């Protein structure tokens, strides 16, 4: 049984509103909005069996944790942990971000573009001036958190309430990202992320969801303040009967089943108020039907079809159940589940093939979005393997990390390109499924691709 970790960032604080750097500084307090957000998190987590909770000692996080636990019918033990403090930005704390950008432009550029290189000169207790790398130090601390906590709670559900920086470092170190990739994901105030660990730190881990904000009345997280560019919504098609049966479908053109059509309508309602301007889909029936249901509420948007977004070709596996594949191709199914990047599908594709065409298609879509006469949100509807390849690519992972991201039927992920296709993207959210079952966890069928 995996260990489930529910990560929550603290609610809106006074320094968040003022756009000041908080870091280790403990002068910032929750606003009334921040307190309401914490209550909304607690309501969203009701009914989930949380075994233990951990929080940063800084008051904006500790107060958030207390408010969350007060909403639960069976409140777990809360442990305060120094290691969950926010990133220590030393010389910047208490300053406005705008002042830092004006007075320290090179350091601010490093913070945004090369965070692993950000260096501050600080004076230690003995009066010696030393170079200090805050993001690298944060990553070391995040790894320490995982090593200390996970061995004590195997198979349990943990709640961790922290901060934007430490939460990002926890997620990134769990899936194998480096300090260079610190800015590639976002953590909004009181957003919920869910990670599933097979065992301890270093074991296979899956991001079930990232940066969910629907429980706050905000369907999708907002772009970071001051950032422009393009936004893309990546959606997986609704359920098919073969998903339900756990039958490999690949490029066989299986339509949505009744549940899949319901999911299509649910995601359509979820995105009804989102100002979509463009839409691209795989030409296979299941994503095309899903996209058409979404666009019913956006009648001025034309649907474009992209052949390179087709699902992975499973070759001779297509149409077969897992038990049949295990019998007909001994050892290959286990290899697919543990080392997918090494598998060549018999008379089909391998993940390198999928990566090459999926990322080429994705880059074309992003480039086209940047060149549109009127920029706006682009909808992309595709498949499990294709979406996983795109999400891995966005954060800087390769085919060996294929299983890192869960993609439920009808799930929505959000990717921003504030600097265009040549700049670094930001994964704002992944695998949002609250519109399907109404809860924090993904309840969709875990069917074959």
Q: Give 79's pLDDT tier (boundaries 50, 70, 90).
A: very high
pLDDT at 90: 87
Q: What is the arithmetic mean of pLDDT over 411-438?
A: 92
Q: What is the arithmetic mean of pLDDT over 23-37?
A: 97
pLDDT at 313: 97
pLDDT at 226: 60
pLDDT at 447 over 70: no
Of residues 78, 68, 73, 81, the one with CA closest to residue 10:
68
Q: What is the arithmetic mean of pLDDT over 2-12?
A: 97
Q: In CATH, what number does 230-437 get?
A: 3.40.50.1240
Q: What is the arithmetic mean of pLDDT over 389-412?
A: 97
pLDDT at 414 over 80: yes
pLDDT at 13: 98
Query: Catalytic annotation on 400?
Result: no
Query: Catalytic annotation on 163?
Result: no
The per-residue pLDDT for range 326-375, each reduced to its tens digit, is: 999 999 999 999 999 999 999 999 999 999 999 999 999 999 999 988 88
Calculate what percentage of the chain has a pLDDT beyond 70: 98
Q: What is the arithmetic mean of pLDDT over 84-108?
A: 94
pLDDT at 42 over 90: yes
pLDDT at 117 over 80: yes
Q: Give 201's pLDDT tier (boundaries 50, 70, 90).
A: confident
Q: Give 121's pLDDT tier (boundaries 50, 70, 90).
A: confident
Q: Start-end ranges of CATH 3.40.50.1240 in the chain?
A: 3-216, 230-437
The answer to whether the pTM exceeds 0.75 is yes
CB 260 within 8 A of CB 438: no
pLDDT at 126: 76
Please state, in angstroms and rounded to a whole number, the distance separating the CA atoms of residues 334 and 25: 49
Q: Is 202 left (phi over 0), alpha (psi -120 to 50) or beta?
A: left
The per-residue pLDDT for range 55-69, each reduced to its tens digit, is: 999 999 999 999 999
pLDDT at 227: 65
pLDDT at 95 over 70: yes
pLDDT at 144: 97
CB 436 within 8 A of CB 443: yes
pLDDT at 225: 67
* CATH class name, domain 3-216: alpha beta
The active-site residue out of 12, 86, 180, 349 is 86
Q: Give 446's pLDDT tier (boundaries 50, 70, 90).
A: low
Please state, in angstroms and rounded to a whole number, the distance separating the CA atoms of residues 313 and 318: 8
The active-site residue out of 10, 215, 383, 393 is 10
pLDDT at 202: 84
CA distances to 102, 171, 177 from 110, rounded to whole Å, are 14, 21, 18
User: 225-250: string of b/e by CB count within 10 Å (b at 16+)?
Assistant: eeeebbbbbbbbbbbbbbbeeebbbb
Arithmetic mean of pLDDT over the chain: 95
The per-residue pLDDT for range 158-189, each reduced to its tens digit, is: 999 999 999 999 999 999 999 999 999 999 99
Q: What is the 3-state secondary structure (H, E, C) of the chain?
A: CCEEEEEEECCCEHHHHHCECCCCCCCCCECHHHHHHHHHHHHHHCCCCCCEEEECCCHHHHHHHHHHHHCCCCCCEEEECHHHCCCCCHHHCCCEHHHHHHHCHHHHHHHHHCHHHCCEEEECCCCCEEEECHHHHHHHHHHHHHHHHHHHCCCCEEEEEECHHHHHHHHHHHHCCCHHHHHHECCCCCCEEEEEECCCCCCCEEEEEEEECHHHCCCCCCCCCCCCCEEEEEEECCCEHHHHHCECCCCCCCCECHHHHHHHHHHHHHCCCCCEEEEEECCCHHHHHHHHHHHCCCCCCCEEECHHHCCCCCHHHCCCEHHHHHHHCCCHHHHHHHCHHHCECCCCCEHHHHHHHHHHHHHHHHHHHHHCCCCCEEEEEECHHHHHHHHHHHHCCCHHHHHHECCCCCCEEEEEECCCCCCCCEEEEEEECHHHHCCCCCCCCCCCC
The per-residue pLDDT for range 238-275, each reduced to its tens digit, is: 999 999 999 999 999 999 999 999 999 999 999 999 99
Q: Is 331 left (phi over 0), alpha (psi -120 to 50) or beta?
A: left
């Amino acid at each position: 049984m995996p260990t489930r970790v529910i990560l929550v960032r603290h609610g809106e604080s006074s320094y968040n509103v003022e756009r000041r750097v908080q870091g280790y500084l403990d002068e910032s307090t929750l606003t009334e909005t921040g307190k309401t957000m914490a209550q909304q998190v607690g309501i969203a987590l009701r009914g989930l069996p949380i075994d233990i909770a951990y929080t940063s000692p800084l008051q904006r996080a500790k107060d958030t944790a207390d408010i969350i636990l007060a909403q639960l019918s069976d409140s777990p033990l809360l442990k305060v942990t120094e290691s969950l403090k926010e990133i220590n930005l030393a010389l910047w704390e208490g300053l406005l971000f705008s002042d830092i950008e004006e007075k320290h432009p090179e350091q601010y550029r490093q913070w945004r573009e090369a965070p692993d290189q950000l260096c501050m000169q600080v004076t230690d207790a003995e009066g010696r001036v030393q170079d200090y790398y805050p993001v690298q130090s944060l990553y070391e601390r995040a790894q320490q958190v995982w090593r200390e906590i996970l061995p004590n709670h195997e198979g349990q559900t943990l709640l961790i309430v922290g901060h934007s920086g430490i939460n990002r470092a926890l997620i990134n170190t769990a899936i194998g990202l480096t300090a260079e990739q610190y800015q590639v994901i976002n953590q909004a105030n009181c957003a919920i992320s869910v990670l599933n660990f097979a065992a301890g730190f270093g074991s296979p881990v899956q991001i079930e969801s990232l940066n969910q904000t629907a429980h706050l009345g905000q369907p999708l997280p907002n772009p970071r303040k001051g950032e422009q560019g393009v936004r893309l919504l990546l959606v997986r098609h609704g359920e098919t009967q073969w998903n339900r049966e756990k039958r490999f479908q690949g490029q066989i053109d299986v339509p949505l089943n009744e549940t899949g059509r319901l999911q299509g309508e649910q995601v359509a309602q979820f995105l009804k108020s989102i100002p979509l301007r463009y839409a691209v889909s795989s030409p296979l029936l299941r994503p095309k039907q899903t996209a058409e249901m979404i666009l019913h509420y956006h009648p001025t948007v034309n649907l474009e079809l992209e052949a390179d977004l087709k699902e992975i070709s499973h070759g001779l596996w297509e149409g077969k159940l897992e038990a049949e594949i295990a019998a007909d191709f001994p050892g290959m199914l286990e290899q697919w589940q543990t080392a997918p990047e090494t598998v060549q599908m018999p008379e089909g594709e391998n993940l390198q093939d999928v990566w090459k065409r999926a990322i080429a298609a994705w880059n074309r879509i992003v480039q086209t979005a940047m060149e549109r006469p009127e920029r706006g949100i682009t909808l992309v509807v595709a498949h499990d393997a294709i979406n996983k390849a795109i999400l891995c690519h966005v954060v800087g992972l390769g085919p060996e990390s294929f299983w890192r991201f869960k993609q439920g039927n009808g799930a929505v992920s959000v990717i921003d390109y504030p600097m265009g296709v040549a700049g670094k993207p930001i994964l704002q959210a992944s695998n949002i499924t609250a519109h399907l079952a109404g809860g924090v966890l993904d309840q969709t069928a875990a069917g074959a691709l």
